[in-house]
Amino acid sequence: MILREMLEPAAQAAGVLGALVVSRDDGLVVAGALQPKVNGPAVAALAASLARRAQGLTEVLGQPEPLLMELAGNEGTLLAVPARAGLLLVAITARGADLAAVRRQLLGLAERVG
């Protein structure tokens, strides 16, 4: 199954604006299923940068990298889950999305990607 098809269930969940597979090193989009209004490259770059920052924080506390990162704003949420092979799974949602469902989708996908 190609990456884009694997992303479809997460991308089609209620309130999800897009789901992407991102290269962690350079923050580039590897695959994406996005609504037209979503700027995929911007989401990818910002999510990769945030994931590095999050890893930096857990490192200074002697903890392993987080399994999941969420940045929640008043209007929506950005979620990122590290996967194997230097990949990052990312979803961006609108306000009111079922975040528990999106988390489950991303964490499940991380087991299968890479």
Partner 1 sequence: MSAGSDIAAMTVQLDRDPSSLVFLSLGEALRRKGDLAAALPIAESGVAWYPEMAGAWDLLARVRSDRGEGDLAFEAWTTVLRFDPEHAGAHKGLAFLAYRAGEWDRSYRYLRQALELSPADPGLQSVLDRVREEAAHHASVPAPPSPLSPLELRGRALLVDLRGRLLEGCVDDTSGRPAPEEAGAALAGLSRDAERAVRLLGLGPWRRISLVGDSANLEIRSPTIDSLLLITGPGTTETKSLAGEADRVASGLGRWLEALR
Q: 5, 35, 41, 57: which one contacts partner 1 (CB under 8 A)?
A: 57
Q: Copy the structure tokens of residue 55.
A: 């890893």
Q: Give the footprint of partner 1 on residues 24-53 (CB under 8 A).
A: 39, 42-43, 46-47, 49-50, 53
Structure tokens at 74: 């008043």
Q: Which is nearer to partner 1, 5 or 26 (CB)?
A: 26
Q: Which among 104, 60, 52 has a CA at the least distance from the CA of 82?
A: 52
87-94: strand order across its sheet = 28-34, 16-23, 87-94, 76-83
**Which residues share a beta bridge with 38?**
none
* Beta carbon of residue 6, minimum distance to partner 1 (angstroms, whole number): 22
The C-alpha angle with vertex 11 and arms to 10 and 16, in degrees rounded to 5, equals 100
Q: Smaller CB distance to partner 1: residue 9 or 76?
A: 76
Q: Which is nearer to partner 1, 36 or 62 (CB)?
A: 62
Give the residue, chosen from 16, 19, 78, 88, that forms a contact with partner 1 under the rule CB under 8 A: 78
Interacting residue ranges for partner 1, rule: CB under 8 A: 39, 42-43, 46-47, 49-50, 53-54, 56-78, 92, 95
